[in-house]
Amino acid sequence: MIVKALRVGLGQLIVFGDLISRPAKRKRNAAAQAAVEQQAKGLALYQFHACPFCVKTRRNLHRLNVPVALRDAKNDPLHRQALLEGGGRVKVPCLRIEEAGEVTWMYESKAIIAYLEQRFASI
């Protein structure tokens, strides 16, 4: 009981720290931002709200100004089941990438951030 309370409290501190120290969004012209938004339609991030690795991934999404659908795999049983069935395990963060009719599930915050940087940093 005490360990769970500590974990929840620390998670909320991490979320609060993220809110007060969030990096500025990348500025783009309207056409470039529209292109980013179009490309991001095929992406969804399965995450837990207070997971430090999920917070790290969301911070990079915010910094790159990439609007990705966030899916709560902890509290939403439908998203949790979709993650388990599609990705094969309930592990977060996980980026679901749908391109050209194919779906890829990418785990590990470092891999997700590298993918996002490679795909959206130059736009």
- Considering the entire predicted model, what is its pTM? 0.92
Nearest partner of 50 among 92, 3, 83, judged by Cα: 92
Classify each residue of 98-123 as buried b or exposed e, where b means 16 or more C-beta atoms within 10 Å of its C-beta. eeeeeeeebbebeebbeebeebbeee
Q: Per-residue pLDDT for the chain (123 aa), expressed as one digit of tens each?
A: 888 888 888 888 888 888 899 899 999 999 999 999 999 999 999 999 999 999 999 999 999 999 999 999 999 999 999 999 999 999 999 999 999 999 999 999 999 999 999 999 998
Residue 66: other Cβ atoms inside 10 A: 22
Domain range list for the chain: 2-23+33-120
- CATH fold of 2-23+33-120 reads Glutaredoxin (3.40.30)
Tokens representing 54? 């999920």
- Report which of 56, 40, 60 is spatially closest to residue 48, judged by C-alpha positions: 56
